[in-house]
Structure 1
Amino acid sequence: MVALMKLWFLSAALLGSAASAAPLTVTILHTDDLHGHLDPVKVGEGTYGGYARQTALFRKYAAEDTNPLVLSGGDTFQGTLFYNVYQGLADVLFMNLQGYQAMAVGNHEFDNGPEALARFAQKAQFPLLAANLDVSTEPLLKDLIKPYAVLNVAGQKVGVIGAVTPDLPLISSPGDNVKMLELTQSLKGSVKALQDQGIDKIILVSHLGYTLEQEVAKTVPGLDVIVGGHSHTLLGTFDNKDFPPSEGPYPTVVQNPDGNRTLLVAAWEWGKVLGRIKVTFNDAGAVESYEGQPIVVSADLPEDPTAKRMIETLSVPIANLRKQVIGNTTQGLNGSREIVRKRESGMANVLADAALEAGQKGGAVMAFVNGGGVRSSIDAGPITFEEAITVQPFGNTLTLLDLTGAEIKQALEHGVATWSESKGQFLHVSKGMSYTFDLSRPAGSRVTAVTLNGQPLDDTKTYTVAMNTFTAKGGDGFDVFKNTKGRRIDTGTLDIDILVNYLKAHPTVDAQPEGRIVIVNEPK
């Protein structure tokens, strides 16, 4: 009888173990870096995204797909007038409607301090995750951000861990009470905590960026899928002339140190695509098979009527914000095309100084603005939000690059190489910096002097330079920026916000040319 009882208990244990470790198929629907884009955005010749179309897609696939999981790679905050008005509370309404089940905390979630993030988290019907943050001494957040969550899927448990960029203190405003923890050890600790609970299917919702996420996949055992964010990375294959080149396959497959594969996915930015991947785990919790491709959220897709009505209602205060006065200029700021692509400009000086102020927290000592990035002048009188948008309409973000003096001179040479053609690569510089170029000399050797705070630039010294991400990634032919090996931080701070914050901090701005750029032997 005792032997029979032992056999019964052993059989029950084995059956229970098999049940908890059965194969499982899930479909991950994911976004990242939405940045408050409730409305569709123009890309090339088309328009893409918008929360109404996203909502329709979420509902469609939630009904059709096997075990859907709706996840976010973070940075819901910041980037449109909707954020300026609602500080994320509009976005969380849609995320709840769309059925999100977990979200990584992004750096922009802290742009208005712990207070705004706390209000968002209190309204969210899903957990906010960041394993490498210690919020235990921040009273507003201590119960609202967790290292990981456990989701019940078809009778099984799936672990979801979060992570935020280690650059957070440099590029946002988490406050003194939010502490960064060492990334790798934090992630390994959360993986172990989940495995100790018998959970062997683990997803990381990440706001680390594509490059660092690949390193994490190579060094942290136990991660099956990484849902990425922060680097605004487009993965996959698209036959779409409006889209930029893809940065890698979807998914990007990385060999994990546990001997299994880690699948890395991302969904670009602003809801222009919706990530969708079906993953089958074997009974040991490892990825057995997968298939997927981001869905293009194009203008021909239907809009969810409820979400559309919500956006219409939330849009009413936006019209008033566009008319809001944010600054003043008694003389006007000249940003005309024929000026900014050939010589110093008051409008360009303001943009360069604004970029420098925004980047100083991350160590910036100078800033560059490409002439092609200055899109309009501002007339004398009160400056409205609408006028600021016409000057900076791109949605570019701010990047900090560590460059040698020699690299900086090379960039300035490139900027003046096509001076007679009025191209957008002409570089403007921030206060305290100046350079001289001689148009009688051949392209490539025209820059004759570069100074910072009155001292010549040292070719071997490293300087931290703020500039827009377009330029930092090699736009306008700046290969020297694209290929530099120095530190690179994409702050994620939008160009329009940089300008607006600067104008608010300097109520009257009357910048004029002041000798930052000196032209010698200009043709008559």
Structure 2
Amino acid sequence: MKNLISRRSFMKAAGVSAAAATMALGAPAASACWTGDVQDITILYTNDVHTYIDKQSPKLTYAAIAALKKSYQDDGKNVLLVDAGDHVQGTAYGSMDEGATIIQLMNAAGYDAATPGNHEFDYGMDRAKELMADADYPYLSCNWVNLPLNNRVLSDVKYFRIGGRTIAFVGITTPETITKSTPAYFMDKNQNRYVYDILGGEDGQKLYSAVQKSINKARVIADYVIGLGHLGVDPSSSPWTSKEVIEHTSGLDAFIDGHSHTVMECEWVKDLSGKAVALTQTGSYFANVGEMTIKADGSIATQLVPTYDGLDSAVAGIQTEWVSAVDDMLGEKIAVAETNFYISDPATGKRRIRLGETNLGDFVADGIYSYFNEVEQLHCDLAIMNGGGIRADVDAGDWSFKTCKQVSPFGNVACLMSVTGKQIQDALEFAARFVGPDGQENGGFLHVAGATYEIHTDIPNTVQTDDKNVWIGSATGTPRVQNVKIYDKTSGTYVPLDEGKTYALAGMNYTLRNLGDGFAMFDGAELIKDYVAEDYLVMSTYAMSFGGVDGEGLPHLTTANSPLADYPGYLLNYEDAYGAGRISIL
């Protein structure tokens, strides 16, 4: 009797309900000697939806996925629905109410569990906690910890007794969250110390250890243990990729992944014991819904489903009402573009904005530069914009406030700082550390206005960073970034950067003040002006300042019509998808 009580106490501490504990104790595991009915179990899964809920999205929506789940239930089948993160941020439909409607949609769609992705924190730590508390389903993370309390912020494991077996999900959050969201959100109010951590470790061991402990706990009860992680498979995320977690742990049966936006129906990865683990990811933006089947014979199969014709009317109603409300709020036309603006490479489809210059990267940076020089009438030498903050291609045609909100959805605000040339050199060097023949994406890649620079990819990266990929020191070897030049309005030429000189640098507070993407080299820089306008308003203000007004009174977004075209010698070329040649990758 003592052992029975002890085990029940353990299960209660592990987050298993009393009813589930009784069921598990009353019936041996299916993998041992369970003799009841063992049936197929279906797990539907999404990842990186990024609030793409409008009618222009792919055919899949929360309403379709809700109907798909219900169709299984109506047929008497066993089905669960889970999400692997990054669902409350990405478009105006997320940012206009800071994710509230997305949580409402996921509740109505019948999600059973989720793990937070890095973008669940984009509205601040307090808001992230509010959103997770508003969810009818549990959020799971084995490696998000409260440092002063020395405990997890969320439950690490969720158990489901279904189809004659016990399924356990282990939540895992990418350690890149701290820098890919905003490090300041994870610190105390004075930004003196970290209050929260996403365990990772420079060699990945902190992450692997946290995951292994949760797997071991889950294995006491569960027949199948599935990782529900937001880690991805991009090499730039190493040593924290899903593949590396599988390879350095044992006991997972499958891993539902997110973060890298990879379309991966199934890849079998061997764990530390040599067992093959099914790794899968749906892509992004509702490109697919994943369908994992744990069959009665114990085997696991996955497939990606790109469309479903059914719709849940209640979910569709919530969605339609909110899309209409946002469209009404932001639908006013403000300009007309005669060219496509790109974050992606039109030749390859890859997100070039994170590893090279594009015309939209130039446009957004120019908007910040123009705002301080022309609207605020302050002296601004140059502006920078991180590629990860520019989120959507824009086709030629009408622009509205909504267009700008889709491109810049984060609600960051522009600020102007007095910095040294050395700090500018360090920022550009840090931003260029992943650029090379492999073309590794980096949300911290910097687009510039009022400046030019070269990246020499044959020179190895020697920038110093900590275990969270936050900058802690200049390059120790030859800089990869060379020949940096700053536009001089008086002479109409670009002149070499002087590391000992002071410059007025504009950008978003995310990068300049909140350590976003790990940019810590600006610590201690003098603030000239902050909180002038949100990111999308800075961009829309620039668009509305163009000339070439047509019969409807709408500015035309061409190079010749830009107010910066009046700056002699200023590099502008919006008609070229690859920009004006401000960034040379050699």
Shorter-chain TM range is 0.5 to 0.7
Aligned-partner residue type, residue 171 of structure 1: K
Shift of 1:109: 0.6
Change (3 A) 1:387 1:204: closer
On the 8 A contact 1:218/1:257 being kept in 2, the answer is yes
Q: Deviations over 1:349-393 (max 9, x none)?
A: 426869xxxxxxxxx9776799x96756999xxxx6235269789
Name the structure 1 match of 2:419. Answer: none
Find the partner of 1:75 among 72, 86, 95. Answer: 86
The CA distance in 2 between the partners of 1:207 and 1:259, in whole Å, is: 23
Shift of 1:131: 0.9
Name the structure 2 match of 1:388. Answer: 404
Q: The residue matched to 1:100 in structure 2 has which SS?
A: coil
Find the partner of 1:207 among 219, 230, 244. Answer: 230
The CA distance in 2 between the partners of 1:137 and 1:106, in whole Å, is: 23
Change (3 A) 1:53 1:18: closer
Name the structure 1 match of 2:379. Answer: none
The CA distance in 1 between the partners of 2:434 and 2:128, in whole Å, is: 42
Find the partner of 1:180 among 172, 195, 198. Answer: 198
Name the structure 1 match of 2:289. Answer: 274
Shift of 1:262: 0.6
Q: The residue matched to 1:271 in structure 2 has which SS?
A: coil
Find the partner of 1:87 among 84, 98, 101. Answer: 98
On the 8 A contact 2:144/2:152 being kept in 1, the answer is no
The CA distance in 2 between the partners of 1:410 and 1:220, in whole Å, is: 28
The CA distance in 2 between the partners of 1:410 and 1:155, in whole Å, is: 47
Shift of 1:435: 6.1
Shift of 1:119: 2.2
Name the structure 2 match of 1:222. Answer: 251
Shift of 1:281: 7.3
Name the structure 1 match of 2:302. Answer: 292
Shift of 1:344: 12
Seq. identity, %: 21
Q: The residue matched to 1:41 in structure 2 has which SS?
A: coil
Find the partner of 1:129 among 127, 140, 149. Answer: 140
The CA distance in 2 between the partners of 1:40 and 1:333, in whole Å, is: 22
Name the structure 2 match of 1:475. Answer: none
Change (3 A) 1:353 1:27: farther
Q: The residue matched to 2:96 in structure 1 has which SS?
A: helix
Alignment of 1:296-375 (within 5 A): 296-297=306-307, 301-323=309-331, 337=339, 347=363, 349-350=365-366
The CA distance in 2 between the partners of 1:376 and 1:72, in whole Å, is: 34
Shift of 1:79: 1.6
On the 8 A contact 2:169/2:228 being kept in 1, the answer is yes
The CA distance in 1 between the partners of 2:212 and 2:449, in whole Å, is: 45
- Asked if 1:194 corresponds to 2:248, the answer is no
Aligned-partner residue type, residue 285 of structure 2: W
| Structure 1: tracts of 5 or more residues without a match | 1-13, 236-249, 283-287, 326-331, 355-363, 394-399, 412-427, 437-448, 458-465, 467-488, 492-499
On the 8 A contact 2:231/2:242 being kept in 1, the answer is yes
Name the structure 1 match of 2:452. Answer: 434
| Structure 2: tracts of 5 or more residues without a match | 1-24, 188-194, 200-205, 235-240, 343-356, 371-382, 410-427, 440-445, 455-481, 487-494, 499-506, 508-516, 520-532, 546-562, 573-579, 582-586
On the 8 A contact 2:42/2:291 being kept in 1, the answer is yes
Q: The residue matched to 1:317 in structure 2 has which SS?
A: helix
On the 8 A contact 2:29/2:223 being kept in 1, the answer is no
Q: The residue matched to 2:247 in structure 1 has which SS?
A: helix
Name the structure 2 match of 1:164. Answer: 173
Q: The residue matched to 2:226 in structure 1 has which SS?
A: strand
Name the structure 1 match of 2:9. Answer: none
On the 8 A contact 2:179/2:518 being kept in 1, the answer is no
Shift of 1:187: 0.3
The CA distance in 1 between the partners of 2:95 and 2:155, in whole Å, is: 27
The CA distance in 1 between the partners of 2:438 and 2:451, in whole Å, is: 16
Change (3 A) 1:54 1:368: closer
Q: The residue matched to 2:277 in structure 1 has which SS?
A: strand
Shift of 1:261: 1.9
The CA distance in 1 between the partners of 2:256 and 2:341, in whole Å, is: 45
Name the structure 1 match of 2:118. Answer: 107
Name the structure 2 match of 1:361. Answer: none
Change (3 A) 1:353 1:77: farther
The CA distance in 2 between the partners of 1:339 and 1:312, in whole Å, is: 28
Change (3 A) 1:66 1:297: same
- Structure 1 length normalisation: TM-score? 0.61
The CA distance in 2 between the partners of 1:129 and 1:187, in whole Å, is: 12
Change (3 A) 1:202 1:490: farther
Shift of 1:199: 2.9
Shift of 1:105: 0.8
Shift of 1:323: 4.8
Change (3 A) 1:353 1:215: farther
- Asked if 1:32 corresponds to 2:47, the answer is yes
Find the partner of 1:147 among 136, 156, 162. Answer: 156
Shift of 1:133: 0.6
The CA distance in 2 between the partners of 1:258 and 1:410, in whole Å, is: 31
The CA distance in 2 between the partners of 1:502 and 1:410, in whole Å, is: 31
The CA distance in 1 between the partners of 2:434 and 2:119, in whole Å, is: 33
- Asked if 1:252 corresponds to 2:267, the answer is yes
Q: Deviations over 1:266-289 (max 9, x none)?
A: 12222232111212376xxxxx42
The CA distance in 2 between the partners of 1:344 and 1:313, in whole Å, is: 31
On the 8 A contact 2:394/2:403 being kept in 1, the answer is no
Q: The residue matched to 1:262 in structure 2 has which SS?
A: strand
Q: Deviations over 1:392-414 (max 9, x none)?
A: 89xxxxxx996769978999xxx
Aligned-partner residue type, residue 325 of structure 2: P
On the 8 A contact 1:36/1:91 being kept in 2, the answer is yes
The CA distance in 2 between the partners of 1:70 and 1:339, in whole Å, is: 36
Shift of 1:130: 1.2
Shift of 1:217: 1.6
Aligned-partner residue type, residue 386 of structure 1: K
The CA distance in 1 between the partners of 2:282 and 2:45, in whole Å, is: 7
- Asked if 1:41 corresponds to 2:56, the answer is yes
Name the structure 2 match of 1:238. Answer: none
Change (3 A) 1:323 1:132: same
Aligned-partner residue type, residue 388 of structure 1: C
Q: The residue matched to 2:114 in structure 1 has which SS?
A: strand
